[in-house]
Amino acid sequence: MAEHFSNDTKAPLLPVQTSPPSSSISFKSFLTKGNICVLSGPLACLLIFFFVDLGDGSQSSRNMVAALSWVFFWWLTDAVPMAVTSMAPLFLFPLFGIAAADDVAKSYMDDVIALVLGSFILALAVEHYNIHRRLALNITSLFCGDPLNPPLLLLGLCGTAAFVSMWMHNTAAAVMMIPVATGILQRFPVGEEMHPQVKKFCKGVILGVIYSAAIGGMSTLTGTGVNLILVGMWQSYFPEEKAISFSSWFLFGFPLALLIFFALWAILCFFYCSKDSAKVLSSYLDKTHLSRELESLGPMAFAEKMILTLFGVLVLLWMTRSLTNDVPGWGKLFNGKAGDGTVSVMIATLLFVIPNKMKEGEKLMDWNKCKKLHWNIILLLGAGFAIADGFRTSGLTDVLSANLEFLKSVPYLAIAPLVCLVSGTITEFTSNNATATLVVPILVELAKLMKLHPLLLMIPGAIGAQFAFLLPTGTPSNVVGFTTGHIEIKDMIKTGIPLKVAGIAAVSLLVPTLGTVVFGTSTRPGG
């Protein structure tokens, strides 16, 4: 038959199939890692739905655990894109009778998410006009020293990354700052010609930038999704209590971040800046090089000045909306109906109205530039708020309370560092936001059992979820630094362990002291 086909010019050029495909081969091809990850969520969900009894006589709480397991396994395995997993509560909760479709959908757009949306658009404007690069070069040139002072230069680079991260998402800040850092490091020789001191300093710079991006984000609500999840859950669980505003979080978060930041700088100087490093590095890098690169950017254009002005106005409005009980801030003018998200979206809207004076009819921003919006983060926040509501409405919080009864006699000084450590360990293996989403509702119930103000445990749990310092996969900003080739996993572990210890110590110190003053945690909600 093969010979017949070879002589027949009209025969189709297809391979001759001598036997049907084996069913076992087809089955093996189906059992790929990707398919197993996809099946893990629904399978865990069905197993819990049919075979688990929580002992409370309520199907709703069991259904919540089943739905949560589906979401958790997909988040953990990256079976589908994170944004897609984050939308799962929109169909799981109504189908399992946990909440009505309208109620779940409302969790995906509130003032906190409006705050993120507006700040993301402003961050895109900063990135589009290269403002971050100008800022980084100015600060780095200021801290470079003459002659070169490596610890001071490291402080400048880390400080810039932390400052940028205060106003935009950690990953975006790392993506912006790593090219600035590598641009400076490119002045050094590579390969075997690289001096050991230079190699160590390069490691310190990259580690400093990615860790500073995480630490700076702790200062403000816009710096990281975890802070927003915490604030959203606080409002969801305790709607009658005073909301955590941008300014109140800053009064607590900035001193906390400052403590951890200087701990990071000390660790980096100890490991990566020896006494002889200044002499070696000065032959490759000095203030003149940085000044020359800054001059190449030219004078600031109208668009850059206008975006910085709008940015300053936004920060001022955030900080003054709600001040103290005696001085309520400008929010009082609107009977408390205006939120931080209100001004965030308002300023973002002005970007589409004000001309950039570069081309006729062109505005500071257009919607094409917004295609890079981090919708995955926005959807993840919505999922977090939906899960928090689901915990409460399904009765799962009551089940957790009963099972955490044994912890109510543990002293706070022991439980707070432990909460931070557990949260900081989980976050090394799953995303910061997913960790906070899963841990914070449990901590609310634990605080009730211990008769503590919930924020005394919610804050350590949320901050601990941001301590992803040991593995590249812990957070996307770690991956950004890891891809430069300057650092290895052992470098992250060597620096990350003491940094994590310092972070847990700082949280354990400030939450029961400064946190009591800022958030009024000396009295329980409703007390």
Residue 216, pLDDT score: 93
Q: Rounded to an integer, what distance in angstroms lies between the CA atom of residue 505 and that of residue 510?
A: 9
pLDDT at res. 11: 46
pLDDT at 25 over 60: no
**Residue scoring higher pLDDT (315 or 99):** 99
Q: Please, which pLDDT band fits residue 6 given cuts at 50, 70 and 90?
A: very low
* Bridge partners for 355 per DSSP: 363
Confidence check: pLDDT of 335 > 50: yes
Question: What pLDDT was estimated at residue 428?
Answer: 82
Arithmetic mean of pLDDT, 205-225: 90
- At a CB cut-off of 8 Å and minimum separation 6, what does 456 contact? 412, 416, 447, 511, 512, 515, 521
Angular region, 263: left φ>0, alpha ψ -120 to 50, beta rest: alpha
**For range 492-505, the mean pLDDT:** 94
Q: Would you call 447 helix, strand, or coil by DSSP?
A: helix
**pLDDT band (50, 70, 90) for residue 431:** confident
Task: State the pLDDT at residue 167.
Answer: 80
Most confident by average pLDDT, 133-137, 421-425, 458-462: 458-462
More confidently predicted of 72 and 256: 256
How do the domains of the chain map onto residue ranges?
38-100, 111-519
pLDDT confidence bin for 1, thresholds 50/70/90: very low
pTM here is 0.71
Report the pLDDT averaged over residues 259-278.
Answer: 90
pLDDT of 26: 58
pLDDT-derived band at 485, boundaries 50, 70, 90: confident
Mean pLDDT over the full length of the chain: 83
Residue 55 has φ and ψ, to the nearest 5°, of 80, 5
Range among 107-121, 189-203, 434-448, 497-511 rated most confident: 497-511
Q: How far apart are CA 126 and CA 164, in angstroms?
A: 10
Q: What is the structure's pLDDT at 455?
A: 93
> Which span out of 164-168, 293-297, 355-359 was modeled with the highest average pLDDT?
355-359
CB distance 210 to 469 below 8 Å: no
DSSP symbol at 189: -
> Rounded distance, CA 417 to CA 508, Å?
6
